[in-house]
Amino acid sequence: MAEQNKVVMFPMDAASFSERAVQSLERLHYDKALTYFRKAVECEPDNPILQCNLAGTLAEAGRFEESNDTLHHILHELDPNMNECYYYMANNFAYMEQFEESEAMLETYLSRDLTGMYTEEAEEMLEMIRFEAKQSSSSQHRGEQNVGAQSSAAKLPSALSDEEMGISEQAEDEHAEARVLLEAGRFVEAEKLLKRVVDSDPDYLAAWNNLALAYYYMGQFDEAREALDAVLERDQGNLHALCNLAIFERHAGNEAVVQQLIAMIGKIQPFYREHLFKIATTMGMLDEHELAYQHLHRLVTGHMLREASIYHYAAVAACRLGRYEEASRWWAVCRRLDPDSGIATYYMERLQQRDEGDIDPMPTYHYRLPYEEASRRAASKAASNDGSRSSRSGDGKDWEQQLKKDPLVRASLFWALRFGEPDVKLQALQAMSLLGDDEANDALRSMLLDPDQDAYMKQVAVYVLRMHGVEDPIEVEWKGEYIQVHRNHIANRLPVWESQWQRVLDILRDSMKERYDLFQMHDAETLWIEFITHLYPDEVPRIGKAESWAAAIEFIIAKMIRREMSYQLAAEQYGVSATTVAKHVKRMEDTCQVEAKIKQSFT
């Protein structure tokens, strides 16, 4: 009994507190680490090593001013010869973007200790600060800021005015407008503006960089590369251009060039948050997750950017390196900053559901739900409303708004249309049907002129354009020829199209649009056109009640996709007789050989 009541005492000395602090640091528990280091300092207040450990932990936690106060105390009260404190203070000032102070600390460190532990790092850091100060001074008057970057660089004085640099006010305004268009995913409009800007001012590097991005998002890789070449011809060290070039070359399969660029970019230790963020996301997209993690860790632990997306990127990098506990913590912060999007919650649930192995598929650096998951959620909501003629659910509307406004989503759709696998292209077409703007229609028209695109995809693309209200003839590359499509479907080659036949399609579309997807609606209308075409001109039935034919078409489509349906249910949906529906179904199935199509689709 006495053994059970024995109390094990924890040692209350500086060494024990320091050991527990280090353990907490390894788990990224900064608050606990600070508590233990402070207790260690209380035990030995005159120990400069303990004070230095405390300063380092404060810096890791993003409390740079407190860290510098502690380092100042060491130098002025405990050990004036502990020269590395100057180097640590320089780092803290750099993180706070106080670059003049950082430069002064580095110069002091190097003057006091030419052979110190951090001499090489200090020299490189000093060179980098001076280089970036020079770059910032010139780039501010060239608008050197790309879409999606955080413009938080220190405002350094410039030797030249805008007039002396030759930048017109019109070019500045047009570039700003183009950036807004890019951020909205309106790439074609942005491209036109940016081309006008660089034509009027060929040395406007930011406009060239953003023009390259516009081309890239639209899948025009040769043009994107040419735009980057224009930047690098004028400034071979332009960070944004080098990062974008690495991504472009990876897509082109030039791996040797990619590795050279990674080695070059990987040596850069940026202090501006914009540059730090650019390098981090670029390394992540190039699967250099260790490098991405190092930079993102600086951003989140230094509290440089309190944005949910940054914590998501950090979590992804940690996840890719197998650091799942850390990833979960970063996603938890992300969820606190952005609870409504559901993005962090989705990935945290994926972490909880994983077995001993990795997450499959691994999360990406894009701050959004995976396309498949967002589409699944929208489809699930639509299915839950099956049979209802009400408007789309809130989730469905949210998904539609994301399609319309999120440039990454829009860019991924344009990519998918040009380069995706067949199932991905089908998903992209489904999403395109919700857009209906000029950007989407231009992308669909380009797809129709591509001889490598599948015939069925082109049929659906024409159908979507007509859904979007495009009334003029649509040019299509079709079986080696370029044709003009005047009707809703490529398959509709009839010399006439009666209004009574169209009325069946109008009723069908109005009834099916909330209960079937794009392809099922397309196939339903194609079935009707095929039926009329087979019987034209002498055997086309008289259309007495259009609703009964629409009900018959829906019955057949439901049967083809194995959705539960009866003649009675179809009849009730359209307010007609079940007997009439059954009669029309039989005639259409016999004419169009529906049973053979059903067997073919499931073999």
Q: Would you place residue 400 in the very low, low, confident or very high pLDDT band (cuts 50, 70, 90)?
A: low
Which parts of 420-454 fold into alpha helices (H)?
Answer: 422-432, 438-448
Quickly state the pLDDT bin for 420 (edges 50, 70, 90): confident
The stretch 7-28 carries a mean pLDDT of 73
Tell whether the model's pLDDT for residue 140 goes beyond 90: no
Question: Regarding predicted confidence, which is higher, 156 or 303?
Answer: 303
Average model confidence (pLDDT) across the chain? 82
Q: What is the distance of C-alpha 350 from the center of its chain?
A: 19
Which has more pLDDT, 65 or 423?
Answer: 65
**CATH code for the structural domain at 183-353:** 1.25.40.10
pLDDT score at 118: 82
> Position of tokens 């390259």?
212
For residue 141, what pLDDT band results from cuts at 50, 70 and 90? very low
Q: In whole angstroms, what is the distance from residue 213 CA to residue 215 CA?
A: 5
Binning the chain into helix, strand and coil, the percentages to the nearest 5 are 65, 0, 30
Query: At 160, is the pLDDT very low, low, confident or very high (cuts 50, 70, 90)?
Result: very low
Please write the tens of the pLDDT for every residue from 300-335.
766 556 688 899 999 999 999 988 888 988 898 888
Statement: residue 139 has pLDDT above 70: no
When pLDDT is cut at 50, 70 and 90, the band that residue 578 belongs to is very high
3-state secondary structure 242-296: HHHHHHHHHHHCCHHHHHHHHHHHHCCCCCCHHHHHHHHHHHHHCCCHHHHHHHH
Segments of the chain assigned to CATH 1.25.40.10: 14-135, 183-353
| pLDDT value at residue 144 | 47
Q: Which of 26-35, 245-254, 436-445, 455-464 has the lowest mean pLDDT?
A: 26-35
| Nearest Cα to Cα of residue 386 among 269, 567, 515 | 515
The reported pLDDT for the residue numbered 375 is: 66
Task: Return the HEC string of 352-373.
Answer: HHCCCCCCCCCCCCCCCCCHHH
- Per-residue model confidence (pLDDT) at position 148: 43
Please report the sign of the dihedral spanned by the C-alpha atoms of residue 461, residue 465, residue 467, residue 468: positive
Would you give the distance in Å from CA 245 to the centre of its chain?
18
Q: What is the mean pLDDT of residues 479-486?
A: 87
Per-residue model confidence (pLDDT) at position 136 = 56
d(CA 585, CA 595): 12
Helix and strand numbers (H, E) in the chain are: 31, 2
pLDDT tens digits, one per residue of 32-85: 888 999 999 999 999 999 999 999 888 877 788 999 999 999 999 999 999 999
CATH number of 14-135, picked from 1.25.40.10, 3.90.190.20, 1.10.10.10, 1.10.3720.10: 1.25.40.10
Q: What is the pLDDT, as a whole number, of residue 124?
A: 77
Mean pLDDT, to the nearest integer, of 499-523?
91
Angle at 547 between CA 543 and CA 551, to 5 degrees: 110
156: pLDDT confidence band, cut at 50, 70 and 90?
very low
State the Cα–Cα distance between residues 522 and 528, nearest whole angstrom. Answer: 10
Percent of the chain with pLDDT over 70: 82
Q: Is 517 helix (H, G, I), strand (E, B) or coil?
A: coil
Interhelix angle for 546-560 vs 567-574, to 10°?
140
User: pLDDT-based confidence at 569, cuts 50/70/90?
Assistant: very high
Q: Among 156-170, 386-400, 561-575, whose mean pLDDT is lowest?
A: 156-170
Of 283, 285, 286, residue with least CA distance to 298 = 283
Note the pLDDT of residue 415.
76
Q: Is the pLDDT of residue 146 over 90?
A: no
Question: Which has more pLDDT, 372 or 472?
Answer: 472
Cα dihedral 309, 312, 318, 323 in deg (nearest 10):
150
User: What is residue 402's predicted lDDT score, i.e. its pLDDT?
Assistant: 63
At 252, the amino acid letter reads: A
What distance lies between CA 521 and its chain's CA centroid? 30
* pLDDT score recorded for residue 393: 46
The C-alpha atoms of residue 228 and residue 531 are separated, in whole angstroms, by 53
Model pLDDT, residue 489? 75
Note the pLDDT of residue 162.
38
Q: Minimal CA–CA distance to 152: which of 238, 273, 64?
A: 273
Closest C-alpha among 31, 43, 36 to residue 17:
36
Check pLDDT > 90 for residue 603: no
pLDDT digits (tens, 9 = 90+) for 331-366: 988 888 888 888 999 998 888 887 666 677 788 888
Instruction: Give yes or no for residue 558 having a pLDDT over 80.
Output: yes
How do residues 250-275 score in pLDDT, each as one tens digit? Answer: 988 899 999 999 999 988 777 667 78
Taking CA atoms, 39 is separated from 18, 49, 54, 85, in Å, by 8, 14, 10, 21
Integer Rg of the chain from CA:
32
Q: Is the pLDDT of residue 157 over 90?
A: no
With 70 as the cut, is the pLDDT of residue 151 above it? no
Q: Which of 138-152, 207-221, 429-443 has the lowest mean pLDDT?
A: 138-152
pLDDT band at residue 122 under the 50/70/90 scheme: confident
Q: What is the pLDDT of residue 380?
A: 65
What is the SS3 assignment for 473?
coil
| 389 — pLDDT class (breaks 50, 70, 90) | very low
Q: In the structure encoding, which two tokens stand for residue 6, read together?
A: 């024995």
Please state, in angstroms and rounded to a whole number, the distance separating the CA atoms of residues 43 and 50: 10
Q: Work out the pLDDT band at 193, boundaries 50, 70, 90.
A: very high
Q: What is the pLDDT of residue 108?
A: 93
Record the pTM.
Answer: 0.58
- Please report how the helices 438-448 and 187-200 are oriented relative to each other, as an axis angle in degrees rounded to 10: 90
Q: Of 134 and 366, which is predicted with more confidence?
A: 366
**Third-level CATH fold of 499-601:** Cyclin A; domain 1 (1.10.472)
